[in-house]
Amino acid sequence: MKLTFRSGGERCVGRLYRPDRPADPALIVLGGGPIGAEGAGLDRYAERLAAAGYAVFRFDARHAGDSDGEPRNLLSPTRLRADWEAALAGLRGRNDVASGRVVLWGVDLAGGTVLDVAADDPRIDAVVSQTPILSGRDFLSRRGRGFLVRGAVAGVRDRLQSRIRGPYTVPVVDEGGDGNGGLALVSTPSAPRAYRNLAGEDWENRTPARSLLALARHAPDEDRERLSCPVLFLGGTRDDVVPIESIEAASDALAEATLVRLPAGHFDLYDGTGLEQAVGHGLAFADAVGGRQ
């Protein structure tokens, strides 16, 4: 079932997956995906979770997928958080899902967002944070100071140019043969093929360079450490995009957190054994916190 809601005056689009039973299923709100390719690969998760007895709302954030927002593929942690809060506001009060029993499941950049949303919303029962980008600043800093400086210059150019000629863009993943490849958000060898497989050949491998500025300013919310609901972190021990060490540190900082280390790379969790393991652990966790009744 297609559902829409408004965030920041723009239309966001999602799909509600309902199980055959129970009649009042607990709700999992699902979003994120590979950075710069919002939602890619998550329908498989939604289908599996719904088949297990949960209502699942998988949505696209603004500037991505079926949702509105220009320029396309813009990354903004601030807007992303507002989109999650707007999605929850739109779901609460519906009589076809048990919006009083809610689990947030965020992936990549949304994996950090759901922690901040839940820290400020005591009505959230639990959180699954999968391969989370917990700090945009740290994510970019691993590329070195030179990358940060060139990214800042590109971001300023984009802000100035966009007023007259449209956005100045940089690649999301470095596919080679592009003079701006050194400013790609993701440069690991496995990324180009993985993005094309997940997002499709029509996916545009470009993001406005101001995304680099937004990520460089993004740090964990100070309220994150007072998060009181149970949290499951899912990380890959062979992940070269989001190092498992960063997830371990985040898990150690929370009183009610559990970390599952999966023997997988970053993109392995979207298909095959990796997907089965991630879904299996997520379902066991959701059941344990009272999701299915």
- pLDDT of residue 174 exceeding 70, the answer is yes
Q: In 3-state terms, what secondary structure has residue 1?
A: coil
3 state SS of 26: strand
Exposure of 249 in the CB half-sphere (CA atoms within 13 A): 11
Structural domains for the chain: 2-135+222-288 (3.40.50.1820)
Kindly state the percentage of the chain with pLDDT values over 90: 82
DSSP3 helix / strand / coil % (the chain, rounded to 5): 40, 20, 40
Integer Cα distance of 41 and 31 in angstroms:
10
Q: How confident is the model at residue 181 (pLDDT cuts 50, 70, 90)?
A: low
| Band (21; pLDDT cuts 50, 70, 90) | confident
Task: Say if residue 182 is exposed, middle or buried (CB neighbours under 10 Å; 0-12, 13-18, 19+).
Answer: middle
Residue 207 is predicted with a pLDDT of: 97
Q: What was the pLDDT predicted at 93? A: 74
Q: Cβ distance 12 to 83 under 8 Å?
A: yes
What is the arithmetic mean of pLDDT over 230-255? Answer: 96
Q: Is the pLDDT of residue 292 over 70?
A: no
Number of separate helices (H) and strands (E) present in the chain = 9, 10
What is the Cα–Cα distance from 285 to 280, expressed in whole angstroms? 9
pLDDT of the residue at 22: 79
The number of beta carbons lying within 10 Å of the beta carbon of residue 160 is: 11
Mean pLDDT of 34-55: 95
189-230 pLDDT, tens digit each: 889 999 999 998 889 999 999 999 999 999 988 888 889 899
Question: What is the mean predicted confidence (pLDDT) over 142-170?
Answer: 94
Q: Residue 8: pLDDT above 60?
A: yes
Nearest-angstrom CA–CA distance, 203 and 218: 25
Q: Which long-range contacts (CB under 8 A, 24 or more apart) does 157-163 make?
A: 157/209, 158/208, 158/209, 158/210, 159/210, 159/213, 162/71, 162/208, 162/210
The DSSP result for 32-88, as a single string, is E-STTSTTTT-HHHHHHHHHTT-EEEEEPPTTSTTS--SSTT---HHHHHHHHHHHH
Q: Which two tokens stand for residue 175?
A: 């596919």
With a cut of 90, say whether residue 180 has pLDDT above it: no
Average pLDDT over residues 104-114: 98
- Residue pLDDT, tens place only, 248-290: 999 999 989 999 999 999 999 999 999 999 999 999 999 998 6
Query: What is the per-residue pLDDT for 10?
Result: 98
Comparing 17-26, 107-116, 235-244, which segment has the lowest mean pLDDT?
A: 17-26
